[in-house]
Amino acid sequence: MKKQSDTAKKGYVYIAGAGPGDPELLTLRAERALKGADVIIYDDLVTSAIIDQFSGLKIYTGKRKDSHHFEQDAINEEIARHALEGKTVVRLKGGDPFVFGRGGEEIDVLRKYKIDYEIIPGITAAHGASAYSEIPLTMRKVSSSVAFCTGHPVNKIQVPDADTLVYYMVASSVHEVLDAIVKKGRPEETKAAIVQNATRYNQRVWTGTIGELRRKERAAYSPALLIIGENINQFIENNWFSRKKKVLSGDADPKRYSSREWLVVNFPCRRVEEADRAMLQQCISNVSDYPVLFFPNRFAVKYFFTYLMEFNRDVRHLANCTICTLGRPAATELQKYGIIADLALEPDSPSEIAIALKERNLTGKKVLLPGSNLVDGYLMNELSALGNTVIPLSVYLHGQQEQEENVVWSSSMKFSSLRPPVSKISVRSTERFPRGLRLPLQTAKQKRSTAGYLAKEPEAGDECFMATEQRSVMFS
């Protein structure tokens, strides 16, 4: 990227923290910056409940293990590019940008291009998890020191000499972290806690000893952090956050529920335009016309094949396509449908994609790119630069992939069959859930007319519930 002259009008960049997950933990200063932003560049851990409030151009950078993403250098250049065009840019990160958020690398690039910026701190995950689980990080006579660490890389895990240790990003490395702590001399009887989805409606907390957690096969799924220390004795299962009854709200006014008693979960849905469906039907009905089919992540694979079956097509119609996947999870998901990718890419940067495609002579082709409603600009640019005609196809809504695994619609499952704790509320009105809304949910028996559509209209008295791995919570 060429540097502009100092006299050229440059934009302004905010490096901002979005907090640990609860949308209400976004700071007033970050909210003000977002309202005035021309461009919002955000990570996967920033919730749609925050992003959807603002009108700037939204660029999704991914940054999650089982979804397509690129190295930090590409993100840095994207921030600088928009700022050099004179735009106001908000780089929005989960938690705090300077606590394992790589904010320091981003401001280095801004300094290089002499772009003005400011840093807006956010509530980091450790503080959010501590408050929402009632596990104090420091406590008189128990813990007078605390250290924040990361669970990566696994061969360089640090174990500081502090009363309380908090490890970020441990979903895939819990056992390695615990092994390192024991090796450093901490007894296996030391208290430990894992907090998954801290401050979110589906937060879960596991407590025990280091030894007990080491014997578990898998302790948590991302995002998760690990807390070590005797202060965990303060944890109670029925804490202030878990006591709140949860309600799934489809209307715009959550004030009808008292925040002291209720946790309102916004129900992200939108009316599906006929143009969306027409585009889906056209592309999938004529899928054999596309020489290249490119899957950027496993969710693109999953939802594409759902629509393929719906429009009376099957894998035989892909016989003449060169099928590419990006990342191992996408290739693994594809194998569930009996297909091995012709080209399974695991690149570290966008340029490596171009090199691999060029080596396979995948240039000047018509490429169908299934994915979310947020088109990956990096990937589009690399594919187009090779002379390809790229047709992005939205097969799912961004954010749906996370929530679908947790939200289930059921009119047949009985309350008694659900595991406690349960807060039950009946559906009071069918008007809030009309047919034709795109919903991040599944029916209990997979009776879907399409992925993300309701197969039937709910009726008053039907039961709607949120299912996590170990518990289910009733919703209205």
CATH code for the domain in which residue 164 is found: 3.30.950.10
Last residue of a domain, one of 367, 382, 398: 398
Q: What is the DSSP string of 407-424?
A: EEEESSS-GGGSPSS---
Domain count, the chain: 4
369, 359 Cβ separation under 8 angstroms: no
Rounded Cα distance, 29 and 474, in Å:
35
Task: Between 149 and 401, name the one with better pLDDT.
Answer: 149
Query: Per the domain annotation, does 197 fall within a domain?
Result: yes
pLDDT tens-digit profile of 236-284?
Answer: 888 999 999 888 766 556 667 788 888 887 765 555 554 578 888 899 9
Residues 132 and 220 in one domain: yes
Residues 76 and 139 in one domain: no
157, 175 Cβ separation under 8 angstroms: no
Residues 354 and 385 in one domain: yes
Beta-carbon count within 10 A of 108 CB? 10
Rounded Cα distance, 361 and 273, in Å:
37
Query: Per the domain annotation, does 5 fall within a domain?
Result: no
Rounded Cα distance, 343 and 293, in Å:
10
Last residue of a domain, one of 80, 108, 123: 123
Query: Per the domain annotation, does 7 fall within a domain?
Result: no
- Which CATH number covers residue 39? 3.40.1010.10
Helix axes 377-385, 72-84, angle to 10 degrees: 90
Query: Per the domain annotation, does 52 fall within a domain?
Result: yes
Query: Per the domain annotation, does 1 fall within a domain?
Result: no
Query: Per the domain annotation, does 177 fall within a domain?
Result: yes
Rounded mean pLDDT of the chain? Answer: 79
Three-state SS at 43: coil
pTM of the model: 0.68
Q: Which among 10, 22, 44, 63 is annotated as catalytic?
A: 63
pLDDT tens-digit profile of 137-181?
Answer: 999 999 999 999 999 888 889 999 999 999 999 988 899 999 999
> Over 60: is that where the pLDDT of 100 sits?
yes
Last residue of a domain, one of 376, 398, 420: 398
Q: Which residue has the tokens 């879907």?
A: 448
- Which CATH number covers residue 291? 3.40.50.10090
> Over 60: is that where the pLDDT of 464 sits?
no
Residues 457 and 360 in one domain: no
Rounded Cα distance, 388 and 408, in Å:
39
Mean pLDDT calculated for residue range 406-428: 31
pLDDT at residue 109, as a whole number: 95
| Per-residue tokens: 57 | 């151009």
Residues 451 and 466 in one domain: yes
> Over 60: is that where the pLDDT of 454 sits?
no
Burial of 133 (0-12, 13-18, 19+ CB in 10 A): buried
Helix axes 72-84, 103-112, angle to 10 degrees: 40
pLDDT tens-digit profile of 102-144?
Answer: 999 999 999 999 999 999 999 999 999 999 999 999 999 999 9
Q: Is 6 a catalytic residue?
A: no
Task: Between 153 and 95, name the one with better pLDDT.
Answer: 95
Q: Which among 10, 22, 43, 376 is annotated as catalytic?
A: 43
Residues 392 and 302 in one domain: yes
Residues 99 and 143 in one domain: no
Query: Per the domain annotation, does 2 fall within a domain?
Result: no
Phi then psi for 302, rounded to 5 degrees?
-60, -50
Q: Is 43 a catalytic residue?
A: yes
Residues 184 and 143 in one domain: yes
- Pairs from 319-322 (Cβ < 8 Å, separation ≥ 24): 319/288, 320/288, 320/291, 321/287, 321/288, 321/290, 321/291, 321/292, 321/293, 322/291, 322/292, 322/293, 322/360, 322/362, 322/365
Residues 155 and 207 in one domain: yes
Residues 258 and 311 in one domain: no
Query: Per the domain annotation, does 335 fall within a domain?
Result: yes
Residues 284 and 393 in one domain: yes
What range does the domain containing 373 cover?
271-398
pLDDT tens-digit profile of 20-68?
Answer: 999 999 999 999 999 999 999 998 889 888 988 899 988 878 655 545 4
pLDDT at residue 61, as a whole number: 81
Residues 295 and 335 in one domain: yes
pLDDT at residue 349, as a whole number: 62
pLDDT tens-digit profile of 205-223?
Answer: 999 999 999 888 765 678 8
